[in-house]
Structure formats: C-alpha cells, structure tokens
C-alpha cells in the first residue's frame, strides 16, 4: 500500500485547524489514557489501520498493558479491565461513531451522562468527531501505518 497524497502538505491550513481541535481535546481535562482508548476504539470501528497503529503505540507509551489494548474492541467482554469512566466513554464513542445506525439514542446519552459531566461529554464528543475526521482522511488517502512503513523500509535493505 502506498499513500495517495499528503493532505497535511497539500492543505496545511485545514490540517492545522484539525490540529487545533486535537490540541484542545488534549488539554480539556479528560484523562489522556481515556481519550487514547476512545481514539483507538473509533479507529477500530472505522477500520483505520494508520490510526489504530498510532493509538496503540501512544497507549503503550502511556504505560497501558498490551492485554488491555488488545481487548479494547471487545471491552464489553473484558469489563473488569476497564474503569466505569472508560466503559462509558467507549460505549458513547461506539454510539456516536455509528450515528447513521444508532441515532445516538437517549439511553446511550443517559448512560454516558451518568458518569461524565456535561463538559466532559461535550469534549469527548468533540474528540470522537475529530477522530472520525482523521480516520476518513487517513483511509481515503491511504496513510501507511508506521509498522508497515518500518517493515517495508527494512525489506529494502
């Protein structure tokens, strides 16, 4: 697989605008690990290999155990590994990411808002929307995951 185009270089102002949202979410007060778990789950749902690779690496750098990272996609079956806040955030991320199918029902909002305050829920939803946008860019333009790029470069040696 090779990248189709470098959207960050071609549209630097647009990319910078998304980066501003990323910066906001990073400093909004939500736990960094919680946000990264949500980013990973959104990327899994969307099938974005580039972002899955990146967020897995970021979670490892934050000290999250491999077992927990591997089970993010089936967190419902591994609930004991995830805190109440993480479970609420992951459920909300799934509902919001699959908005065309779910319509984000009142029950999903009730569950999320029982654990997250209004600002946290708004900020988390901004992050979910951002990751959905990044996934669409990475998938559309075929960003190459770091693991794949590293393997390809060593194969050339």
Q: For residue 101, tell me if it sits in a domain.
A: yes
Q: For residue 2, tell me if it sits in a domain.
A: no
Give how many domains the chain has, as a whole number: 1
| CA 37 – CA 43 distance, rounded (Å) | 10
Q: pLDDT tier at 155 (50, 70, 90 boundaries)? A: very low
Mean pLDDT of 132-155: 83
**Domain limits at 125?**
8-155
Which stretch of 3-12, 36-45, 95-104, 109-118 has the lowest confidence by average pLDDT?
3-12
Q: Is residue 3 left, alpha or beta, with left meaning phi > 0 and alpha meaning psi from -120 to 50?
A: beta
Roughly what angle, to the nearest 10 degrees, separates helices 32-46 and 84-97? Answer: 30
Kindly report the pTM of this predicted structure: 0.92
Mean pLDDT of 130-153: 87
Give the pLDDT score at 154: 53
Q: For residue 1, tell me if it sits in a domain.
A: no
Q: For residue 3, tell me if it sits in a domain.
A: no
Q: For residue 78, tell me if it sits in a domain.
A: yes
* Look-up of token digits 């959207």: 7
Paired tokens of 17: 């605008």
CATH number at residue 41: 1.20.1290.10
Q: For residue 98, tell me if it sits in a domain.
A: yes
141 with 4: CB under 8 angstroms? yes
Q: For residue 93, tell me if it sits in a domain.
A: yes
Q: For residue 48, tell me if it sits in a domain.
A: yes
């Amino acid at each position: 697989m090779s990248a189709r185009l470098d959207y960050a270089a071609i549209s630097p102002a647009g990319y910078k605008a998304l980066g501003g949202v990323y910066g906001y979410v990073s400093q909004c007060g939500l736990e960094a690990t919680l946000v990264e778990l949500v980013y990973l789950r959104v990327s899994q749902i969307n099938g974005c290999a580039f972002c899955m690779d990146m967020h897995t690496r970021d979670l490892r750098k934050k000290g999250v155990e491999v077992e927990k990272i591997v089970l993010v996609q089936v967190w419902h079956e591994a609930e004991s590994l995830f805190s109440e806040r993480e479970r609420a955030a992951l459920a909300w991320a799934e509902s919001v990411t699959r908005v065309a199918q779910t319509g984000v029902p009142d029950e999903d909002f009730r569950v999320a808002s029982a654990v997250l305050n209004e600002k946290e829920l708004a900020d988390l939803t901004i992050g979910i929307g951002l990751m959905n946008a990044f996934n669409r860019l990475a998938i559309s333009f075929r960003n190459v995951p770091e693991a794949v790029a590293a393997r390809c470069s060593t194969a050339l040696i």
